[in-house]
Amino acid sequence: MTDLAGAAIAFDLDGTLVDTAPDLHRALNHVLIEEGLPETTLVNVRAFVGHGARALIRRAASSHGRTYEDSRLDTLTETFVDVYASDIARFSQVFDGVEETLQALAASGARLCVCTNKRTGLSNRLLEAVGLSEHFQAVIGADSVPKPKPDAGHFLAAIHAIGGDPARSLMVGDSISDVGAARNAGAPVILVNFGYTDIPAEQLGADAVMSHYSELPSLIRPWLRR
C-alpha cells in the first residue's frame, strides 16, 4: 500500500524519537559541578530539554541564584556540548515502536525527515549511534536555519529538503515548539505524551496525541492519505 506516496513527515528528535534525557542530564551535571553548583535532577532535565542546552544551563543555574553574562553562557554551552558529544548515546534509547513505524511509513510511500532544535551535527551523530539514520532523507537542526522552531521556516526547510509539499506535510513532536512550528506553517501536528515538556502534551493544542508509535500510522492518514 502506497497511499502516503508524496507525503512528508517531519519528526522532532529528543523526547520524540529518542530518550536522550539521561545523557543530557550527565552533561548538564558536569557543567554544574565545574561551576560549584548542585546537580539537578533528571525530572528537571526532561521538563526543559526542548528549550535547548543554553536554556537548560541558564535555568539550572538560576534555580540556585546564579546568573551569567552571554559570553560566559556561550562558554558553558560549548562545554556542555563537548561532554555530551563525547559519549552521545551512552544512556540514550530509541522509544519503543519507533523503528517499526518508520519502516511502515516509508513502505507506504512517505518521505521522512528530522526537524530538531538540536545542532545538525549532533543530531546526525546521535541518529547514527542509535541506528536510525537510514530512515531519514534529511536532518535539519537549529544551526541549519535562520530561526529554529517554533518558527515556521524551520519546519518548512525540513519539508523542502526532502522534496515534500507543505500542503501534504505533518509534524510529529513532543513540545510546544513543535506545535508552534507546525501551526505557523499551516500543518497538522501530532505529539507523543512521553516526551519532554513541562506542560502535558494533551494541553498543547495538537491535532492528536499518542502514547505509543503503533498509533501513528492510523493517526496521520486523515491528513496525508492520497
12 is catalytic: yes
Distance, in Å, from the CA atom of 117 to the CA atom of 216, rounded to the nearest integer, reads 22
Distance, in Å, from the CA atom of 162 to the CA atom of 128, rounded to the nearest integer, reads 19
Annotated catalytic residue within 3, 12, 23, 74: 12
Closest CA to 7 of 153, 137, 112, 135: 112
Distance, in Å, from the CA atom of 82 to the CA atom of 90, rounded to the nearest integer, reads 14
Instruction: Return the DSSP state at 36.
Output: T
Distance, in Å, from the CA atom of 88 to the CA atom of 53, rounded to the nearest integer, reads 14
What residues act catalytically? 12
